Amino acid sequence: MGKSLYEKVWEAHALRTLPNGQTQLFIDVHLIHEVTSPQAFGMLRDLGLKVRYPERTFATVDHIVPTHSLAEPFEDPQADEMIRHLRKNVAEHGITFFDVTSGRQGIVHVIGPENGITQPGMTIACGDSHTSTHGAFGAIAFGIGTTQVRDVLATQTMAVSKLKVRRINVDGRLGPGVYAKDVILHIIRTLGVNGGIGYAYEYGGSVFDRFSMEERMTVCNMSIEGGARIGYVNPDQTTFDYLKGRPYAPKGEAWDRAVERWKALASDPDAHYDDVVNIRAEDIAPTVTWGINPGQGCAIDERVPDPAHYPEPQRAAIEEALAHMKLKPGQPIKGVKVDVAFLGSCTNGRISDFREAAKYLKGRKVAPGVRAIAVPGSQQVAKQCEEEGIADIFREAGFEWRGAGCSMCLAMNPDRLVGDELCASSSNRNFKGRQGSATGRTVLMSPVMVVAAAVTGRISDAREVFGAELVGA
């Protein structure tokens, strides 16, 4: 019986079995940011420990960064304290920091890949649950808590238990207007928000074979929303083509050796999986959420559920979600009025997302009364959007074109919903209060669906709004 990539990477990085039975796993790359690292550095100080291998840690600032102005001090004194704290910590420990002045600052899960830091076969850890994103490269990437950030800083290892592996095949052809975001929303809707507990998700099949790296990242990013801490795609030529020439990728002979090594890491054809799920691409429609977790989703042309048709405890959960979303049982999701459109985040804030959105936004206008915000995932993405004229398309359409950061995905900076505003969002979480207002409402969707919502002022079917302009993936 062959091995999965997960098993191969695990075996290469497992140092020993700890007294409690967990594995001490070596972490090749540690990514840190301002929100979950300060307490970890504090713990190191209290214990008199140093960062073991500062050359294996990379820092950025993303969650609290204002996107309208980087003038310092930041208007929010707490945010200002956090960035100053991070600067002090990285300087003290000799850690590479992609600061706001570097031209390379951005969301941690955008800058790792775009700089070639994320590579196949690596173990990667970051104090952020969307670290699963890096699995798109065939890395095993863990979202961790702050005490584990301390562990990785101090020892370059952490205590973990091995997961089971579920292979998810998506085969066939996605229809026009159906994107990677729809694929993962469909998977989560199908398997549930807790269906992935105890599993690493290995994504494959012809749809993933054809997907670009950025599409694979969108899917892996939201693995955690399905309960799976790890999600990955086996590395292939698409992976190598993406990485070649990036600043931190190997060069020359080292590149050739790396590619050979990476090829051998892919799951064997006869690899053992603890579970296999098959999904037909043709069954996936443009998908939006109607509730308060990412599994509460439906096809754009479906109606939201009627709790009366469900037994407990689903009934109570649906009632709670509909009450928060101010939706009526059984009403169509299409046509619901939108107050805010947000394009960005570690899920859909990459150059391909803005390119695709700009195709359909060009020559159109944001509907009156809609506040539309575009937030590139990194300064590099922002620069590319300026160079390609994409930023101008957004500005001309009436979007606010902002600086790089997490922004309204979780509203730790000044970008947030007000009152019960409803936001058409390309982000990853529609939890109550997620976008900065306790009564705010989030509807998750693909970037092109966000554009459709922005220009119509309603939750809309991009296939109807853009018609023949849309092509299948």
Partner 1 sequence: MPLEAIKQVSGRAVYLPGDDIDTDRITPARYLKVVTFDGLGEALFYDERFNPDGSEKPHPLNDPRFKGARIMLVGANFGCGSSREHAPQAIYRAGFRALVGESFAEIFFGNATTLSMPCVTAPKADIAALARAIEEDPNLIVTVDVERLEVRYADKAFKVNLPPTAQKALVEGRWDPIADLLEASDLIEEAHARLPRATLS
Q: Of 253 and 387, which has the nearer Cβ to partner 1?
A: 253
Specify whether the CB–CB gap between 456 and 465 falls below 8 A: yes
Residues of span 91-120 touching partner 1 by CB under 8 A: 115-119
**Location of structure tokens 């398309």:** 393
Residue 306 beta carbon to partner 1: minimum distance, rounded to whole angstroms: 19
Residue 151 beta carbon to partner 1: minimum distance, rounded to whole angstroms: 6
Report in angstroms the alpha-carbon separations of 293 from 288, 368, 412, 434: 11, 29, 19, 10
434 near partner 1, judged by CB under 8 A: yes
147 near partner 1, judged by CB under 8 A: yes
Report in angstroms the alpha-carbon separations of 345 from 143, 299, 314, 374, 381: 16, 22, 30, 10, 12
180, 325, 412, 417: which one binds partner 1 (CB under 8 A): 412
Specify whether the CB–CB gap between 373 and 344 falls below 8 A: yes
Site string for partner 1, 256-275 (x = CB under 8 A): --x-----------------
Residues of span 329-388 touching partner 1 by CB under 8 A: none
45, 73, 94, 197: which one binds partner 1 (CB under 8 A): 197
Enclosing H/E stretch for 255:
helix 252-265
Q: How far apart are the first and last CA of the chain?
A: 34
254, 276, 323, 418: which one binds partner 1 (CB under 8 A): 254
5, 122, 284, 443: which one binds partner 1 (CB under 8 A): 122
Phi-psi region of 204 (alpha: psi -120 to 50; beta: other; left: phi over 0): beta
Longest C-alpha distance within the chain, in Å? 64
Q: Calculate ∠ Cα 58-376-430, nearest 5°.
A: 95
Site string for partner 1, 63-92 (x = CB under 8 A): xx-----------x-xx-xx--x-------
Q: Please state, in angstroms and rounded to a whole number, the distance separating the CA atoms of residues 39 and 47.
A: 12
Q: Please state, in angstroms and rounded to a whole number, the distance separating the CA atoms of residues 463 and 449.
A: 9
15 near partner 1, judged by CB under 8 A: yes
47, 91, 308, 418: which one binds partner 1 (CB under 8 A): 47
Q: Of 193 and 277, which has the nearer Cβ to partner 1?
A: 193
18 near partner 1, judged by CB under 8 A: yes
Residues of span 149-168 touching partner 1 by CB under 8 A: 150-151, 154-159, 161
Q: Which stretch binds partner 1 (CB under 8 A): 168-176, 242-250, 368-376, 443-451?
A: 242-250
Long-range contacts of 72-78 (CB under 8 A, 24+ apart): 75/414, 76/413, 76/414
Q: Of 258 and 299, which has the nearer Cβ to partner 1?
A: 258
Rounded to 5 degrees, φ, ψ at 237 are: -60, -35
Site string for partner 1, 284-313 (x = CB under 8 A): ---------x-x-----------------x
